[in-house]
Amino acid sequence: MAHESQSIPVVALVSDLMFQSKITAGARAEGLAVRFARTMPELLAAIDETSPKLALVDLGAAGDDLTALVDRARADGRVKTVGFGSHVDAAALDRAVAAGMDEAMSRSRFEQQLMPLLAAARS
């Protein structure tokens, strides 16, 4: 159940501490709170509990089945899903696209797009 007092605009499943730090710093700069998850079930629970606008997913940490995430985001109706991963792991990026994620991109592109993504979650 989502509660207004629990509204957190960004949830993220990220295994890399460097990316976690970048997301945290970017969110702070935008005045946003972020809730990090360690597993896909934790991320799905975070979506249910916080009514986010943006779900960021490290495809290397997400596993093969992204369908539950996309289904949950669509059920909420306003959660944008963005997957990022190694540019050499084309299979992971393809799985994200096939699952219906809003965006799937390389880690380098994600770094470039992070601030615009966070700014959009603020509005």
Predicted pLDDT of residue 2: 40
The model's pTM is 0.90
pLDDT of residue 6: 56
Q: Class of the 4-122 domain?
A: alpha beta
Task: Give residue for tokens 């995430």.
Answer: 69
DSSP code for 36:
E
Contact partners, residue 1, CB within 8 Å, separation at least 6? 48, 49
* Strand pairing category for 80-85 and 103-106: parallel
Q: Where along the chain do its domains lie?
A: 4-122
Gap between the Cα atoms of 1 and 96, Å rounded: 26
- Token output for 71: 């289904």
What is the model's pLDDT at position 51? 87
Query: To 5 degrees, how large is the angle CA 1–CA 117–CA 17?
Result: 80
Confidence at residue 74, expressed as pLDDT on a 0 to 100 scale: 85
The DSSP secondary structure of 90-106, one letter per residue, reads HHHHHHHHHHT-SEEEE
pLDDT, position 22: 95
Digitized pLDDT (tens) for each residue of the chain, 123 residues in all:
444 435 689 999 998 899 999 999 999 999 999 999 999 999 999 998 988 999 999 998 887 778 988 888 888 778 999 999 988 888 889 999 999 999 999 999 999 999 999 999 987
What does the DSSP 8-state code read for residue 117? H
DSSP class of residue 92 equals H
